[in-house]
C-alpha cells in the first residue's frame, strides 16, 4: 500500500501535522504538495511542541525522506529559519529535498500581499500576508521564479525585472511608499543559491521511483478542502489545490499510484480568516470552546473562529477527495459539554438540504439544522482503545462516521503522539 494522501477535511488546522507525523514513522517518504509557510502544524513529541510551517511533518521522522514538492511555494528565508529552529532542537534536517520546479516567494511578494489586502478594504480575504497568493499568481502569469532558476543568475534577473514594474504599481495604488529595487531583489535571491543547491532534485522522479520500489509514500496537504481554490468557499480560499487531486499535480504522480486518501477533521470546526461559516459560535460559548481547544493560529497567532461539527462539510470532503478514512482529532476538547450539536444539514430560504449548496450565496445564508447528542462529561484523554471511551463519546464518533459516509479510523484524545485511538490500520 505505497501511496497515501492526507488532506484537511474542514477549513484547515485540523491536526494534519500530528496525523502525518504519526504515519511518518511507518512510511519511507513524506512529501508536501501545496501551499507555503502560510500553513501551520503543531506536533507534540514527549511533551515537546514543534511548530511546522513550510517543512513537511515528516521532518520529525528519524527515517523518512522529507520532500517539498513542485506545487509548494517556497520562501527561502522562512525555510532556512525553520531548518535552523529544528536543528537547534536536535532534529536532523539533512535528508530534506526540494523540487526544482517549486516556485520561490520573492521578498517583494510579501509587500504585494499586504497591499492587495489593503486595497480590498472591507472585502479582505484574511491572508497571512506571506506572499503566497501573489506568488501563485506569478506562477499562473508565467513570470514566477522557480527554485531551479536560482542556479542561473541571468534567468533570475530577467524574471525579476519583468515582475517588478507591476509590483511597484500595485504598491503605489495601495498607498505604500516602499518600492521594489530589482537589483537588490536579485542580489538577495542569489544569496540563497548555494545553500539551496544541494537540496534541489527532481522530486517527481524520486517519489515515483519510491512508489515503484514498493516504498510507502505519504502526501501531506497544506490548508484543507474548504479553502481549496476550486472547491472551497471562494473567494475566501487559499491559492492552491488542497485536495487529493492537488497531491497528484503538486508532486507529479498518477492516480493509479494512490491506495488510500485520509481526511483529517476536528471533533468540532474552526476557521481562520474571512468567509462563510454556518456553524460558527460567538460570545461566551465560543470563548469557552476556543480556550479548551487552544484555538490560536500556529502561523499567525490569531484567535480562530470556532463552531460545532458540520456533517455537511464532512460529507462534501469525503466526496471531493474520495476519502477512504477519516482521522478525528481533539475529541477530548468536548469532554466537558453536556450537549453537543452537530449540523446534519442547512436551511436555505426555508428549504432543507443535506448537501453543500451549489451557489455560494446560498452557503452564506445557510442556517445549520442541528441534531443534539448527549455529552459524556468525563475525561477521555487516557483512552487508548475505542472501548475505553465513554459510551456517549463512542456514539458521537459513530454518528459522525454515519453522517460523513466514511469510516473514522483514528481518534485523537490529546496533543501528544501517544494520545491516539487506532480503530483501523492506516498504513
CATH of the domain at 132: 1.10.300.10
The per-residue pLDDT of the chain, averaged, comes to 90
pLDDT tens, position by position, 262-277: 999 999 999 988 899 9
**241 and 355: one domain?**
no
Supply angle C-alpha 272, 277, 281, rounded to 5: 85
Say whether both 239 and 165 belong to one domain. Answer: no
Cα angle 406-229-330, degrees, rounded to a multiple of 5:
40
**Grid cell in block for residue 119:** 486595497
In this prediction, residue 36 has a pLDDT band, given cuts at 50, 70 and 90, of: confident
Could you tell me whether strands 200-201 and 339-348 are parallel, antiparallel, or unpaired per DSSP bridges?
Answer: unpaired
Same domain, residue pair 9 and 130 = no
pTM, full prediction? 0.91
- Do residues 290 and 39 lie in contact, with contact meaning Cβ atoms separated by under 8 Å? no
Do 154 and 246 lie in one domain? The reply is no
- Say which CATH number the domain at 248 has: 3.40.440.10
Lowest mean pLDDT, pick from 46-50, 366-370, 391-395: 46-50
**Same domain, residue pair 107 and 94:** no
Give one word for 389, left, alpha or beta, with left for phi > 0 and alpha for psi -120 to 50: beta
Distance CA 129, CA 108 (A): 11
Tell me the CA distances in angstroms from 83 to 40, 62, 65, 87, 97, one per residue in order.
Answer: 15, 15, 15, 6, 12
> Which neighbouring-strand residues pair with 262?
6, 325
Same structural domain, 222 and 144: no
pLDDT, mean of residues 8-26: 81
Mean pLDDT computed over 93-115: 88
Tell me: do 273 and 375 sit in the same domain.
Answer: yes
Instruction: Label residue 362 by pLDDT band (50, 70, 90).
Output: very high
CA distance 108 to 168: 9
**How far apart (Å, rounded) are the C-alpha atoms in residues 9 and 299?**
19
Shared domain for 275 and 392, answered yes or no, is yes
Given 227, 262, 297, the domain boundary residue is: 262
Confidence band of 247 (pLDDT split at 50, 70, 90): very high
pLDDT grade for 129, boundaries at 50, 70 and 90: low
E strands present in 109-241:
200-201, 217-220
User: Using 50, 70 and 90 to split pLDDT, how confident is the model at 130?
Assistant: confident
- d(C-alpha 53, C-alpha 78), whole Å: 9
Tens of pLDDT, residues 205-220: 999 999 999 999 999 9
Active site residues: 13, 41
More confident residue, 31 or 112: 31
Half-sphere exposure of 227 (CA within 13 A, CB side): 29
What whole-number distance in Å separates Cα of residue 234 and Cα of residue 231?
8
Angle between helical axes of 76-87 and 182-196 (0-180°, round to 10): 40
Please identify, among 164, 181, 196, the residue that sits at the C-terminal boundary of a domain: 196
Q: Say if CB 330 and CB 294 are below 8 A apart.
A: no
Per-residue pLDDT at 334: 98
**Cβ–Cβ < 8 Å for 417, 22:** yes
Q: Is 308 part of any domain?
A: yes
427 within some domain: no
**Are residues 204 and 68 both part of a single domain?**
yes
Kindly state the average pLDDT of the residues 150-160. Answer: 90
Pick 222 or 195 by higher pLDDT: 195
- Identify the domain boundary among 220, 236, 262: 262
Residue 134 within any structural domain of the chain: yes
**pLDDT of res. 16:** 81
Range of the domain at 147: 103-196
Question: Is a pLDDT exceeding 60 seen at residue 119?
Answer: no
Q: What is the DSSP letter of 245?
A: H
Number of domains in the chain: 3
292 pLDDT more than 90: yes
**Contact between residue 263 and residue 113 where contact means Cβ atoms under 8 Å apart:** no
pLDDT score, position 126: 54
Question: In sequence order, what are the residues at sequence separation of 6 or more whose Cβ sits closer than 8 angstroms to the Cβ of residue 395?
Answer: 373, 374
Give residues with Cβ within 8 angstroms of 427, minimum separation 6. Answer: 1, 4, 23, 26, 27, 216
**77 shares a domain with 12:** yes
Q: Does pLDDT of 308 surpass 80? A: yes
- Identify the pLDDT of residue 327: 96
Amino acid at each position: 500500500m505505497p501511496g497515501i494522501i492526507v488532506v484537511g477535511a474542514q477549513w484547515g488546522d485540523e491536526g494534519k501535522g500530528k496525523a502525518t507525523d504519526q504515519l511518518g514513522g511507518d512510511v519511507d517518504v513524506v512529501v508536501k504538495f501545496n501551499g507555503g509557510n502560510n500553513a501551520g502544524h503543531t506536533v507534540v513529541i514527549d511533551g515537546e511542541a514543534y511548530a511546522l510551517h513550510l517543512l513537511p511533518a515528516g521532518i520529525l521522522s528519524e527515517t523518512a525522506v522529507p520532500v517539498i514538492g513542485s506545487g509548494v511555494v517556497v520562501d527561502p528565508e522562512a525555510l532556512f529559519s525553520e531548518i535552523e529552529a529544528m536543528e537547534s532542537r536536535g532534529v536532523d534536517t539533512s535528508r530534506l529535498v526540494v523540487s526544482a520546479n517549486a516556485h520561490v516567494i520573492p521578498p517583494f511578494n510579501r509587500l504585494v500581499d499586504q497591499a492587495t489586502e489593503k486595497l480590498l478594504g472591507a472585502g479582505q480575504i484574511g491572508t497571512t500576508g506571506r506572499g503566497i497568493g501573489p506568488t501563485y499568481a506569478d506562477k499562473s502569469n508565467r513570470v514566477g521564479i522557480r527554485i531551479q532558476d536560482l542556479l542561473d543568475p541571468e534567468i533570475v534577473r530577467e524574471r525579476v525585472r519583468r515582475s517588478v514594474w507591476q509590483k511597484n504599481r500595485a504598491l503605489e495604488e495601495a498607498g505604500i511608499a516602499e518600492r521594489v529595487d530589482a537589483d537588490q531583489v536579485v542580489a538577495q535571491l542569489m544569496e540563497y543559491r548555494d545553500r539551496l543547491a544541494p537540496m534541489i532534485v527532481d522530486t517527481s522522479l524520486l517519489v515515483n521511483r519510491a512508489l515503484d520500489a514498493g516504498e510507502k509514500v505519504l502526501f501531506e496537504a497544506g490548508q484543507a478542502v474548504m479553502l481549496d481554490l476550486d472547491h472551497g468557499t471562494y473567494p475566501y480560499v487559499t491559492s492552491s489545490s488542497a485536495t487529493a487531486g492537488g497531491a497528484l499535480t503538486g508532486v507529479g504522480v498518477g492516480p493509479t499510484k494512490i491506495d488510500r486518501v485520509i481526511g483529517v477533521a476536528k471533533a468540532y470546526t474552526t476557521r481562520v480568516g474571512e468567509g462563510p461559516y454556518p456553524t460558527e459560535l460567538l460570545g461566551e460559548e465560543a470563548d469557552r470552546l476556543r480556550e479548551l481547544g487552544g484555538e490560536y493560529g500556529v502561523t499567525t497567532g490569531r484567535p480562530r473562529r470556532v463552531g460545532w461539527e458540520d456533517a455537511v462539510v464532512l460529507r462534501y470532503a469525503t466526496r471531493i477527495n474520495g476519502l477512504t478514512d477519516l482521522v478525528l482529532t481533539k475529541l477530548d476538547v468536548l469532554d466537558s459539554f453536556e450537549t453537543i450539536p452537530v449540523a446534519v444539514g442547512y436551511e436555505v430560504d426555508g428549504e432543507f438540504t443535506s448537501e453543500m449548496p451549489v451557489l455560494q450565496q446560498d452557503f452564506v445564508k445557510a442556517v445549520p439544522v442541528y441534531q443534539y447528542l448527549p455529552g459524556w462529561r468525563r475525561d477521555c484523554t487516557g483512552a487508548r482503545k475505542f472501548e475505553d471511551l465513554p459510551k456517549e463519546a463512542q456514539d458521537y464518533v459513530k454518528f459522525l462516521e454515519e453522517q460523513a459516509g466514511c469510516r473514522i479510523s483514528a481518534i485523537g484524545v490529546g496533543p501528544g503522539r501517544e494520545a491516539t485511538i487506532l480503530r483501523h490500520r492506516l498504513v
